[in-house]
Every structure is written in structure tokens, then in C-alpha cells.
Amino acid sequence: MKPLNGHRFKDGDEYSNIIVQAHNDSFELGCCRVLAERNNGENIGRLIFIDNIYDLESLVYHHKLVKIQDEFLNLPLLLERKEKIHEVFKNFVSNLTYDLNVYKNTFDGLDAEFACESDVVRKVLQQAIIKTEGPAFFNFLDQKMQEQEHIVKGFNRSEHEVHGFYFRTQLWDMIMGAPFMARTNLKPRGYAGDSEMMSMIYSADYRGKTTFFKLLHKHPINQPAAQAVRNRRHAIAKIIREIKGRTREKDASTLKLLSVACGPSKELEDALLTADDCRNLYLALLDQDASALLEAKETICQIEKKLNTKLEVDYLNESVRTLLALPHIEAKWGQFDFIYSMGLFDYLTPPAASMVLGKLYQLLKPGGEMVIGNFHVSNPNRYYMEYWLDWVLYYRTEEDFTNLLKGVSNAETKLFFEDNKVQMFLHVKRKD
Amino acid sequence: MNRSIELTIKPKWDEIENVRNESTDFLISQGISNDSVQAFAMVISELVENSVKYGRFTSNKSKVTVSVNISENMIIAEVINPVDESVYHHLRKLDKTLQWIRGFQDPFQAYIQRIRQISRKPLDDEFSGLGLTTIAYEGQAI
């Protein structure tokens, strides 16, 4: 800051109000003090807020009036939240936090023992510790999950919400150290289950800065719910291959496939194994997330490169909910022989799920088939996902799932499960 | 006994209070507890406000329809307004915001984060999204 019109600043001078004019607006920001600085004899200095503190950079460059202390406005709400927590749950969280810190300190101590070794040596030693000590830590976590389930399973929705928030607030530092848990909690793309999370589940490796966090990252990925995600990828690939095989025998016309909420489309790597598989095939890959579509494009490029062939693909950047508002979608996209969606319906309320299903059914050719996935109510990791990962799904029973199709006539339906029985699939065939 | 009402209103701001009053009277008449009535009246008001704000009303005949239906363990409020492609970007934003809110196990967390975001958003950005998080947190209705 430099004074104008012959004014001089003296170190320690205080002003009762600073007025900033920016973006054709005037902002009164309150008291400030001068911190004088010398620069080649020039009288320059800084103005420091001594009451309310504002972010001037945000105001001048981004037209945002940010008062730093506003963060404190939420404190009463946040603090009183703990009053609703059951004592038994508080004890559980307290013991869990203590135990986790004991494990963390022990693993961190081991990491420190070989911190000076080369990367290669460190990696091998870390693998040895994971192999020898990891199972016991996983057993401890499994026991804690069971204990937690025992405490919370009778809670109503509102109790789950408030206890989940309390749980994550207490364990936030632990959660943030494990890459998978951090991502499901932070949801950087604005929703859970993004393609990066899927990629972590598919690769099922150890990630994290320390041995402890590598294990904490891996534990949820070892669970039946994550295995179900890996299983469904192979299950859907198998179905695509069966349908492709059937069509190949029948005629040489192009098989049209639509993948809804396609994500990175990794299942296509398992479904398209030869150049012949790619012939007479049209793929429409739909996702609301442009980043996911880029990853799907990458998958397609890799398949094309590997098989030395070209695939006919359209990438549709659309959300299924807004899809409902689009008129004449059938005329725009045509009809499909096979439509599938693996990880979408778990996020749709019953009315939305029913409407989307009806709309997708209209997009089937007569004789066309559709396979839709949804987690079953019996998912053994439900509370783990909700409390630790802040990952909430709409779980369905067999009846709930088939009822979504109630408004559709002429459909032939059957249900089946992946190998773990955690995720079910609704198979629909358009009869007419 | 009639367990539902349907109201049709003009897309005007002063109609919001009328809808709030009528739906409140209806819910009270159905024996709904006072706390739930207040929460639900707030939810309906927020929805109608969004409807008036973002609906596409091209003629004098364009209306907002509000229905409230009480079943055994659920109360459903439905607010319908006309849209066309010119307001499609609002639908996308709505969809994104709903997904974001539903991404939290506890809507309180969404509410707190939204308040923080609002305090840091550009002054000329009129969209707050606070109404939807309030529906989720205070109304327990998303």
C-alpha cells in the first residue's frame, strides 16, 4: 500500500474504517492498523485488520466478500450436535479412536525404523509388515465394524444421520489419511461413487503415505460390497459377450448398446476381446460426469489399440434425471438392443428410479434386453459405508426392485445376483 | 377421509404465503404434529418459491400446481411448473445440487457446507442452494 496526495503513514497508526471501492461498489470493512515498511526510502506499508478480518484478494479479484470469522458462526450448531449422541456410541468411538491411535503409532514407529533406506528396500520391508501384521489389524477393524453395527442397527434415520456425523468428525484425521475413505467423504466431483473411486475398487491395491494408512485404505476395498462391484463388472461383460454371440449367429446387423452412467466403462475391456467382437457394434456411453466420459474414451482407445480396430462410439454427457425432461429422446438416440446400468439406481429415489426405468424401457427395441444393478438391502457393509465412508445408497429388496417396473407393460423380468449376493440385477426383456 | 389436497396458483410471489397457510391448515386438520406441520409448510414454501423463480411461464394460463398427499408413513408434496429448453440449465443445476445433498449421510453436513460456500460466493451470484439444503436438513425431506 502506498499513500497518495502527500499523505504519510506512521507505523501503528489506526483507522476506524477502511472503505474499499471495487466492482462499482463500496465496502466498509472496519478498523485497521498501519504496519510501515521501508523500501528505498519510500513511505509504504500494510494495512492490517484489527477487528473483522476480510480476504481482500477475494474481494478485489473475485468479487467475493469473505469475512474470515464467519467460520465461527456455525460453531454453536456444531457443538450442540453432540448432545444427541447415545453414551454407548460415545464410548465406542472413544475406544475406537484410542485403539486406532495405538495401531497408528506402532505402524508409524516401524515406518520410522527404515525411513533412511532406499525406496526399493523400504517398499519390500513395508510389504513384509503388511503381510505379517496387516491381517491382525484387519481383524481388529472387522470386529469394530461388528460392534458398531450391533450398536447402530436399531437407530432410526435421524439417529443414523447425527451419529454418522459425530463419528466422522471424531475420526476425520484418520479418514483423511486413507485415500479411498478421503475420496468417498470429500466427493470432489460432487457425488459418491465417481469413476476414480471405482478405479480404486477395481485395482484393489494399497495406497497411502504410511503403512497404517495403506492398510486403512485397503480394508473397505476388501469388503463384500467392493467385491460385488468387481463381480458386477465381470458379470455384465459376460452378458455383453453372450448377447453379441447370439446376434452374430442370428444376423450381421449392428448391435446397439447403451451404457447408462457408464463411468470409465472398464467392463468393455472384459467384454471386447477380439477385433471380431468390435465388428457390427455401436456403443452409446452416457454419463453426467464429463471426466468419467473422458476416462471411458481412454478405455475405448486402449481397446482399439490392443485389438487394432475401430469402435463406433457416441459419448453422451447427460444426467438421467434431466433426461426425463428431454422430449423425443427416442427419435434423437434411436432404440437399443441392450441397455445396462450398474451403479446408478442405488442413487435414485423410488419415483425417480421408476421413471428412469420406464424411459429406458422405451429406448429398447422390441426383443431388446436391459440389465440394471442395485445393491440389495442385505449388504453387510451398509453401516461401514454410511458411517466411515459417508456413502449412502438406496437399498432395495427384490420386491422393491421389480415394483419399479409396475408402470411398464409387456416386459419379461427376472432377478439375479452376482456371486457375493450383495448386488442384484433386474433383467428386463421387451416382449413386443 | 380425504388425505390429499391440490392447489393451483398463479406464478406470483404473494401466492407463496397463501399456499403455506392452506397446506398448514390441511396438515393440522389431518392430525399431523405441530413440529412436522411447521417443517412441512417450510418445505412446501421453498418448493413453490423455486417453482415461481425457475419455472417457464409463457402465458397467462401458466400455473403452478401443488399437491400434498398423506399416506401411512409418508407425506408427499409435489410442485409442478412448466419448463422448456430455456430453463434447462436450471434443471441441471437442481439435479447436481440434489445429488450433492444426497451424497451426505447427514443433511446437516450439507447445510453447514452450503452456509460456508455462500459466505464465499461472488456477490453477484444469485443462486444460493440454501433452500434445498434447508429442505433436507430442517425438513428432513430429501
Give how far Cα A15 sits from Cα of A18, A30, A47, A159, B51, Å.
Answer: 7, 8, 9, 50, 47
- For residue A125, the model assigns a pLDDT of 94
- For residue A25, the model assigns a pLDDT of 80
Domain check: are A296 and A325 in the same one? yes
Say whether A191 and B103 touch across the interface (CB within 8 A): yes
Domain check: are A300 and A174 in the same one? no
Domain check: are A348 and A285 in the same one? yes
Report d(CA A247, CA A254) in Å as an integer: 9
Report d(CA A415, CA A191) in Å as an integer: 27
CA neighbor of A317 nearest in space, from A297, A342, A340, A334: A297
Domain check: are A177 and A270 in the same one? no
- For residue B124, the model assigns a pLDDT of 65
Instruction: Give the helix/strand (H/E) hosting A98.
Output: helix A87-113
User: Please, are residues A338 and A368 in contact by the beta-carbon 8 Å criterion?
Assistant: yes
For residue A302, being part of any structural domain is answered with: yes
Residues 6+ apart with CB under 8 A from A245: none
- For residue A42, the model assigns a pLDDT of 72
Domain check: are A175 and A286 in the same one? no
Closest partner residue to B123 (CB to CB) among A64, A77, A165 is: A64
- For residue A323, the model assigns a pLDDT of 77
- For residue B108, the model assigns a pLDDT of 94
**Environment class of residue A304 by beta-carbon count within 10 Å: exposed (0-12), middle (13-18) or buried (19+)?**
middle
- For residue B123, the model assigns a pLDDT of 64
Report d(CA A95, CA A109) in Å as an integer: 21
For residue A218, being part of any structural domain is answered with: no
Domain check: are A266 and A355 in the same one? yes
Q: In this structure, how many other beta carbons lie within 10 angstroms of the beta carbon of residue B82?
A: 17
Q: Kindly state the percentage of chain B with pLDDT values over 90.
A: 58
- For residue B122, the model assigns a pLDDT of 66
User: Please, are residues B111 and B139 in contact by the beta-carbon 8 Å criterion?
Assistant: no
Q: Which residues of B touch A71 (CB under 8 A)?
A: 116
Backbone dihedral angles phi then psi of residue A247, each to the nearest 5 degrees: -65, -40
Domain check: are A419 and A278 in the same one? yes
Say whether A322 and B88 touch across the interface (CB within 8 A): yes
Report d(CA A22, CA A4) in Å as an integer: 18
User: Please, are residues A233 and A224 in contact by the beta-carbon 8 Å criterion?
Assistant: no
| CATH code of the domain covering residue A415 | 3.40.50.150
Q: Which residues of B touch A23 (CB under 8 A)?
A: 123
Q: Which residues of A touch B100 (CB under 8 A)?
A: 187, 190-191
Q: Would you give per-residue pLDDT tens digits along chain A (432 residues)?
A: 667 777 777 888 898 988 888 777 888 888 999 888 777 667 778 888 888 888 888 888 877 788 888 878 888 889 999 999 999 999 999 999 999 999 999 999 999 999 999 999 999 999 999 999 999 999 999 999 999 999 999 999 999 999 999 999 999 999 999 999 999 999 999 888 999 999 999 999 999 999 999 999 999 999 999 999 999 999 999 999 999 988 776 766 889 999 999 999 999 999 999 999 999 999 999 999 999 999 999 999 999 999 999 999 999 998 887 777 777 778 888 899 999 999 999 999 998 999 999 999 999 999 999 999 999 999 999 999 999 999 999 999 999 999 999 888 889 999 999 999 999 999 999 986
Residues 6+ apart with CB under 8 A from A7: none
Domain check: are A58 and A86 in the same one? no
Å between A67 CA and nearest CA of chain B = 8
Q: How confident is the model at residue B121 (pLDDT cuts 50, 70, 90)?
A: low
Report d(CA B123, CA A253) in Å as an integer: 57
Q: Which residue of B has its CA nearest to A390?
A: B105
Helix (H, G, I), strand (E, B) or coil at A92: helix
Å between A339 CA and nearest CA of chain B = 22
For residue A199, being part of any structural domain is answered with: no
Report CA A62 to chain centroid distance, whole Å. Answer: 29
Q: Is the dihedral of CA B17, B23, B25, B27 positive or negative?
A: negative
Three cell numbers, residue A68: 474470515
Report d(CA A14, CA A3) in Å as an integer: 14
Backbone dihedral angles phi then psi of residue A270, each to the nearest 5 degrees: -85, -20
Per-residue pLDDT tens over the stretch B59-118: 888 999 999 999 887 888 999 999 888 888 888 888 899 999 999 999 999 999 888 877
With left for phi above 0 and alpha for psi between -120 and 50, is residue B118 left, alpha or beta?
alpha
Say whether B95 and A319 touch across the interface (CB within 8 A): yes
Q: Which of B105, B114, B126, B133 to mutate to test binding with chain A, by most A CBs within 10 Å of its CB?
A: B105
User: Please, are residues B52 and B79 in contact by the beta-carbon 8 Å criterion?
Assistant: no
Three cell numbers, residue A261: 452412467
Give how far Cα A344 sits from Cα of A339, A356, A404, B134, Å.
Answer: 13, 10, 14, 25
Report CA A252 to chain centroid distance, whole Å. Answer: 40
For residue A6, being part of any structural domain is answered with: no
Q: Which residues of A touch B140 (CB under 8 A)?
A: 157-158
CA neighbor of A340 nearest in space, from A200, A239, A211: A239
Q: In which domain, by residue range, is A396 found?
A: 226-430
Secondary structure of chain B in the HEC alphabet?
Answer: CCCEEEEEECCCCHHHHHHHHHHHHHHHHCCCCHHHHHHHHHHHHHHHHHHHHHCCCCCCCCCEEEEEEECCCCEEEEEECCCCHHHHHHHHHHHHHHHHHHCCCCHHHHHHHHHHHHCCCCCCCCCCCHHHHHHHHCCCCC
Domain check: are A92 and A37 in the same one? no
Domain check: are A161 and A125 in the same one? yes
Report d(CA A45, CA A31) in Å as an integer: 16
Domain check: are A173 and A250 in the same one? no
Count of domains in chain A? 3
Report d(CA A336, CA A369) in Å as an integer: 8
For residue A8, being part of any structural domain is answered with: no
Backbone dihedral angles phi then psi of residue A88, each to the nearest 5 degrees: -65, -35
Q: What is the mean pLDDT of residues B119-132?
A: 71
- For residue A26, the model assigns a pLDDT of 83
β-pairing, A281-287 vs A255-260, is parallel
Å between B132 CA and nearest CA of chain A = 15
pLDDT at B1 over 60: no
Helix (H, G, I), strand (E, B) or coil at A334: coil
pLDDT at B131 over 70: yes
For residue A404, being part of any structural domain is answered with: yes
For residue A169, being part of any structural domain is answered with: yes
The whole-model pTM stands at 0.87
Domain check: are A312 and A386 in the same one? yes
User: Please, are residues A242 and A234 in contact by the beta-carbon 8 Å criterion?
Assistant: no
For residue A257, being part of any structural domain is answered with: yes
